[in-house]
Amino acid sequence: MKQNSEIGPAKPDDFPAIRALCNGFIDWCRSRYGENAWFVDRYYTPEAWSALLDSLPRIHSPPDGEILVARLNGKVVGCVMMQQIDELTCEMKRMFISPEGRGLGLGRRLAENIVRVAAERGYTTMRLDTGRNHDEALSLYRSLGFQEIAPYYEAPPELRNHLVFMEAPLAG
């Protein structure tokens, strides 16, 4: 069967699928970190995670933010989000592709599209954080021009060692 994929803005009825992707990301992180899985629950306490999922449409709403989804044969299989840090700086958040959407270049397409949207909205810099064990993500981000920087928010010391902070200039 031919795979038909598209990238576009999230629609209101996409949020159950987006929340499922976000929960899939947490589960994926726990499995990726193995004996250090405590880090995931320390970074995202269950209460804070639940509140965050409920607030996604608000904190990532245009024009300051955005949520893009990847669809495969009409089904949401990936997402990426953007939120404002300040007038010129935004942050890429919560990029995740479900197992059925992996290996098709959808992560790269989501990242390229959110970078483009950010530049179109007038941001000059995009930042992100990711886990030190997220080799695929680190490789993708580096290929898009992101470079490691010092932490841009206050992270507890026991978590900071598991995180990589990155930044890229955006084309105007």
- Domains for the chain: give ranges and CATH numbers: 5-169 (3.40.630.30)
Q: How far apart are CA 14 and CA 148, in angstroms?
A: 32
| pLDDT tens-digit map of 6-31 | 999 999 999 999 999 999 998 888 88
Strand 125-131 relative to strand 89-97, pairing: parallel
Does position 93 have pLDDT exceeding 90, yes or no? yes
> Could you tell me which residue, 124 or 49, shows the higher pLDDT?
124
Question: Band of the pLDDT at 166, cuts 50, 70, 90?
Answer: very high
